[in-house]
Amino acid sequence: MTTRIAIFASGSGSNFQALVDACRNELLDATPALLVCDKPGAFVVERATSLDIPYFTFAPKSYSSKQEFEKHILSELKSYEVEFIILAGYMRLIGPTLLDAYKGRIVNIHPSLLPAFPGLDAVGQALSYGVKLTGVTIHFVDEGMDTGPIIAQEAITVDPDETKESLEKKIHKTEHTFYPKTLQQIFANKGEAVIK
């Protein structure tokens, strides 16, 4: 049975697009039920419009707290019967309201081999450090910053003449196939994917 997902994103949304495409091409047995976006002007909202995916955008500053906007998100997720939350460039920590409601059913993608280079600008951090190998990590989400249990990783070589732009391009290319493929594996054994 298809899994109903909400994709959370804050920016360009190339991963959002790749996930929707994978669902439509039957590479991922999931229904993209809703986009949740905390930046109403983000390009990902335009993508959702052209792909005909419902979206919920909100301005965090117009709520008194994270708990308040997460309660609002939760009511949207319930009305769209969302089973899993898929983070794809959502630039906020998930709080207890959503973590408790979707325990073990929130997944994130991060552009480094965690636990190396968590947080912002992971690609820039890896380049500045001078690593020869970086990559992409898919993990369950907990209350920390990119700290939840690791599900899958794919390594990417950093070439001697690598620039931030070229490395970002390679990382995105990997993400766009690796994320749908890994989610498909998670959804295939739904119960076992849930962490306690």
Binding site for ligand GRF (CB under 6 A): 9, 11-16, 88-89, 109-111, 171, 175
Structural element, H or E, at residue 31: strand 30-37
| Of 97, 117, 108, 160, residue with least CA distance to 138 | 108
Which segments of 65-182 are extended strands (E)?
A: 84-87, 106-110, 133-140, 150-157
**Residue 65 is assigned to a ligand binding site:** no
Determine whether 176 is an active site residue: no
| Of 135, 49, 148, 26, residue with least CA distance to 93 | 148
Cβ proximity to ligand GRF: between 11 and 95 the closer is 11
Structural element, H or E, at residue 70: helix 66-79
Report in angstroms how near the CB of residue 39 gets to ligand GRF at its nearest.
11
**Residue 66 is assigned to a ligand binding site:** yes
| Of 23, 4, 108, 8, residue with least CA distance to 56 | 8
Half-sphere exposure of residue 159, counting CA atoms within 13 Å on the CB side?
Answer: 11
Report in angstroms how near the CB of residue 89 gets to ligand GRF at its nearest.
3
**Residue 13 is assigned to a ligand binding site:** yes
Cβ proximity to ligand GRF: between 10 and 184 the closer is 10
Report in angstroms how near the CB of residue 53 gets to ligand GRF at its nearest.
14
Q: Which candidate in 110, 139, 172, 176 is catalytic? A: 110
Give the residue closest to ligand GRF by C-beta. Answer: 89
**Residue 112 is assigned to a ligand binding site:** no
**Residue 189 is assigned to a ligand binding site:** no
Report in angstroms how near the CB of residue 52 gets to ligand GRF at its nearest.
19
Cβ proximity to ligand GRF: between 65 and 151 the closer is 151
Contact 38, 58 (CB under 8 A): yes
For the chain, what's the residue count? 196
Cβ proximity to ligand GRF: between 32 and 111 the closer is 111
Q: Which residues are known binding-site members for (6R)-10-formyltetrahydrofolate? A: 66, 91-94, 108
Active-site positions read: 110
